[in-house]
Amino acid sequence: MTQAHTHHWQAQQRVHHGQPAAATVLAEADLAGAQRVVLTTTRSLRDGELVAGIASALGARLAGRFDAIPAHSPREAVIAGARCIREARADLVVAVGGGSVIDATKVMLQAVWYGIDTAEGLSAIVMGRHPGGAIASGWDRDPQGLRMVAVPTTLSAAEFSHSAGVTDTARGLKQSYRHPLAVPVAVVLDPAATLATPMSLLLSTGLRAMDHAVERWCAASPQPFSDAMSRQAMEMLATGLPALQADPASLAARARCQAAMWLSILPQASGVPVGASHGIGYILGAAWQVPHGVTSCVMLPAVLEWNHPVNGERQRVVAQALGRPEAPAGSAMRAFVRGLGLPWRLRDLGIGRGELGAIAARYDGSGPIATNPRPVAGAADLEAILALAF
């Protein structure tokens, strides 16, 4: 029998799939009645055709740009971007980039809404400690006129969530920020927007999407909506990512991966949690500067192996989706990662065996590790998982 639960629909009004970014962003600006648009992005994209096309389409409505957003969305970049938005008197923000850009922009909005102008000041609103709260469906608790449109260039799926991970660089700690209106009001999934993204980054963020789907499929408390989205996402990514690798010019393969990425993140609305692969990834990202897509490449196979005693039957579906029905899911996932030419061991990332204890010691008993299907009792268990990934 299905367990009682609540499904939360987010305040995301539109997802444009397979439409050109520049024209669609302009249409969104028209729909919002926006006259002062700020564009947030990264230095790697600021001089490219994608950003130039969007800027040209906006014309005189482009009131400002902020492109100093590095990986892992440090709090200092969030505050600098919020100042840019505030000084431009923006009435719409357009985020163009991967998960770091989109997550940083979500928190920039909150800094503007609540008048926060220092990195330390952000601590006051961690985990939705503000009038908006942390509940994705609480749209009317704290109405805000300034919203964002997202044009993703990777497959991490940050644009479909009201939560954002931002790094406290002083402590090497990834913190979660949530507001029901931080989710982009519209998302533009233009496959051509991914053409300038390095293939290794695109594929590794595709593994991040796979991680979203697999960990929720294998969760201890699945739900029908979550299962349907996760299974379809796994199957589409299992064929779409190799197709993208084989034919990088294929917009059809890119569009398929974007659709799969979208499906992979929707199950969060059912309240089905992710597990240790995500949680360890947060530690590796914040303190060891490992990109989140790469953490999924390395940790997801190991976490599947660790969890096999408690959800081996569910994992059979993962192996089937990967086209290796006779193999254990952990082995099948590791072979899939290797087939894409991506890092698959911690040692490939320059992490030594002697560092595993220090990584494990950072677990504080909270976050996705605490919702792993097989309980992680403490640092010793975490070190055992890390050893599987070494």
- Nearest one of 294, 299, 275 to 206, comparing CA atoms: 294
Whether 71 and 165 map to the same domain: the answer is yes
Task: Look at residue 4 and tell me if it is in a domain.
Answer: no
**Are 22 and 96 part of one and the same domain?**
yes
**Domain count within the chain:** 2
- The verdict on 182 and 293 lying in the same domain is no
Note whether 178 and 33 are same-domain residues: yes
Q: Are 120 and 126 in contact (CB under 8 A)?
A: no
Would you tell me how many other CB atoms lie within 10 Å of the CB of residue 222?
A: 19
Find the helix or strand (DSSP H, E) in which 39 lies: strand 37-40
Domain boundary among 152, 170, 193: 193
Considering the domain boundaries, does residue 381 fall inside one? yes
End position of a domain, from candidates 169, 193, 217: 193
90, part of any domain: yes
At residue 2, the pLDDT reads: 53
The angle, 0 to 180 degrees and rounded to 10, between the axes of the packed helices 329-339 and 199-217 is 170
State residue 286's pLDDT score. 82
Does 316 map to a domain? yes
Specify the pLDDT at position 3: 66
Would residue 332 count as lying in a domain?
yes
Task: Confirm whether 129 is domain-assigned.
Answer: yes
pLDDT (tens digit, 9 = 90+) per residue, 202-217? 999 999 999 999 999 9
Same domain, 233 and 173: no
92-97: strand order across its sheet? 14-17, 186-189, 148-152, 92-97, 37-40, 62-66
Q: In 142-223, which ranges are continuous DSSP H helix?
A: 199-217
- Please give the model's pTM, rounded to 2 decimal places: 0.94
Which of the residues in the chain have pLDDT under 50?
A: 1
Residues 370 and 241 in one domain: yes
Instruction: Give the pLDDT score at 171.
Output: 87
Q: Which domain range does residue 89 map to?
A: 14-193
**CATH code assigned at 330:** 1.20.1090.10
The span from the CA of 377 to the CA of 130, in Å, is 32
Which run of H or of E encompasses 14?
A: strand 14-17
261 and 289: one domain?
yes
In a domain, 327, yes or no: yes
Query: Last residue of some domain: 193, 215, 238?
Result: 193
